[in-house]
Structure 1
Amino acid sequence: MTEKIRKIFAAAASLAFAACAFGQAPSPELLKDKSSFSKTELFESPAVFSDREANAAAIKSYEADPSAYKPEELMPVAVCYMGFGDFPKAKSLLETFLKARPDNVRALRTLGTISMLSRDFNAAKGYYEKAYKLGDEPSAVYVSTVCIMAQKPDEMLPYLPAVKKLAKENLESFNIAMVYALRDPKKPDEALVKELVGAADARKLLSSATPDALSTTLRLYLGSRKLWTPSASVVPARAAALMESWPLALEIYNGILKAEPENALALRGKALVSYRVGGVMEAANLIKKARELGEEAAVLDGIELFVLSKNEDVWNMFKDGAEKAEILPQVRAGLILYAVRNENPGMFYAAALGKNSDLLYKDAQVLKLIEEGAKKFSSDARAKRVLENIEAAKK
């Protein structure tokens, strides 16, 4: 568990104060203007630090004349250093920044992360606790993580109410609370496990999940599965499928659907497993049932299943929803390739037009396929729109 937590924080370290910025659109261009560095709200998006060369240039400018930078202008530079793995330098700059902005939650959380990765748990706990006291509720999870890593789980008790609140919708928070509940293998806190599982919103937990978090959830589930509700079990079932542990995933999904035959998430999840073990039409029918229950997003599952299976019976089950579905560009490209090679004009135009289709015209190889399809299916009324898109893409 400890190593997984370290990996999660290491991956997120350079973006520890990332969130959506308001107002000015975030981009690496912001790193070129030192005069804006004190406006830390402009640098909250990871998009600002997405260009490695821009980060290096910002560091170079700073190192050319460090004295030209005021303490309150050091936050963006520190994040650039973190992007290159220079945590000691980033820590030094953030500490200087905090002298000017002692109540900056982002800096406190970032310093907490750096300290935790350095295994300075006392310092990490101090930074996170201060951020929490300033009103940053997610820092309760970080404090709790430090307590667990330091093998002092009882010290997270004051933060447990906040962690439980977040655990309803956030998988990392859920996992931390579960680790606390199961801290004593000989005497697990079954009442707390039931409380956490009963309050969990499986759909929101899955939307917040990372592969590492799901892996952790599955291990926690296997140690306490008798306490889980069918609804919450969708999360470890998805984890088992992600790890390609098909028999376990199938076992969990079957248990859920026996208790809740109209659980749309379980139907969609089991469909993936069914496809992987060779049941294409079984998978399609599960997806179809989920859609009939109001899960319109299941259309995307059906279309993706067709691209994987090349079974036109699957396409025919879901093609009526293709026009409005937000199909991923790579899936659209797969549809176009199949349609052109197999004389299917309906599929071609469903893929070449609609949401996210504009990106297809920016890829030279896909554009050639689209041109081929438009020429082959030129008698269709939709050909005009596709030809206009092709012409615009070539300008």
Structure 2
Amino acid sequence: MHVGQQEGRWGVDAALTNVEVSPWQHAPGGGPLDAWVQARDFRGRVLFSSHGDSTLYFPEFFADPMQLRRAEGEVEWVYDGPNTMVSGKRLSVDWDGAQVVGGFGLITGNQRGHFGLDLDFSEVDALERPLAQWLPLSVMDDDLRDWLLDDIGGYVTEGSLQLSQPLGNDVTTEDFTATLELAITQGHLPIAPGWPSLDDVKGRLIWQDRVLEAEIEHAQSHGVTASEGELVMENDTLNLSGQLQADGTALTAFLQTMPDIDLSQLSDLSVTGDVNGDIALSLPLDIPEALQLEINALPRFSEVVYQPLDLPLQAVEGDLAWLQNGESRGLVGEASGQLLGGEIAADFNTQRDAIALQGNLATSELFELAGVSGRQGRLPLEGQLQWQGNISLLPTPTLRMDSRLMGITSRLPDPLPRLPSSHGL
């Protein structure tokens, strides 16, 4: 250490080891660090480094000290009358494996001031640890902080953080500005309480002006693939939208994970084909039971088999929507296909406890299902049977069907025989 005066100016040159510094105003603290200090009158500079475990702490912004494996940088200060200026330059740290570079600036004096922080991130491995530990949670709203702490993670290939905080007695939270942008791969985040998470997320997470946005290039959940997605959290409400694509197996697996509805009977279905659609979700974080959800789907299935009866439904197409608004929920839309040598169409409105059915079928296929083959002789009824029906879901699912047997040739004993031109039995 050297302390002295030259040409009327006081100076200090010192090499220090294992230095620990407490946070001051908004300037960070931390340590232990090795430092080279140079000071001349009212200004000075510190070059610091650490090649072992140390910390860096911005208590006004980050909930916990940064746990560092390596650190180096430069801090300068200038005292100019009523003002004090402190700046951090060329900061470079290994923060729990993440590489972070940047700087900060602090000006204080006359009961006013300003603090700014500018950091660039790369190689943030939040696959097994919460991403939130690298985020400035202390300046985020409570609901956003809680959401970020709810099993959100991934690998951040690159990112940046800029914070700007005016200082003074008349400063409000509205004066604070921040921009956080992260490019994420292999990410995971929740959809809504009780719902399965989105996995394999690739996209960008942006927090600016207290609004969180996520641009989702790709994600999947139980095999259902999402693309062109957007997540926005603003005013304590989470909104999610995007395009969906799945094959039949993935679709049935995802539907069985939906909360508060028992769809275990879907395990009896074998579905071959694809479905395309979209999702729109709005979730008030303080009132999760007020969830609003719309999932639109365009199924194109070559075959759907009800396995207990080995009954195939073929060439299934439709336009369906799952609608949920709080406690009200249900399936609406139309679907059609081929069944037992004929056609079947369904009109769904489960919110009104209604599924309307209509179609036609070949009587030979119906007798075949009952174990009676036309190869054994002429069948008692022949032709295409026109029918209609409905399914009531409450209190238990009940199917009602009827037919006037129009278009059926009867080979029953007199007085019952009918010709195809008959108007029913």
TM range (shorter): under 0.3
Q: In terms of Rg, which structure is larger?
A: 2
TM-score by length of 2: 0.23
Query: Normalising by the residue count of structure 1, what TM-score does the alignment of the two structures yield?
Result: 0.24
**Greater length-normalized contact order (CA 8 Å, ≥ 6 residues apart):** 1
Q: Which has the higher helix share?
A: 1
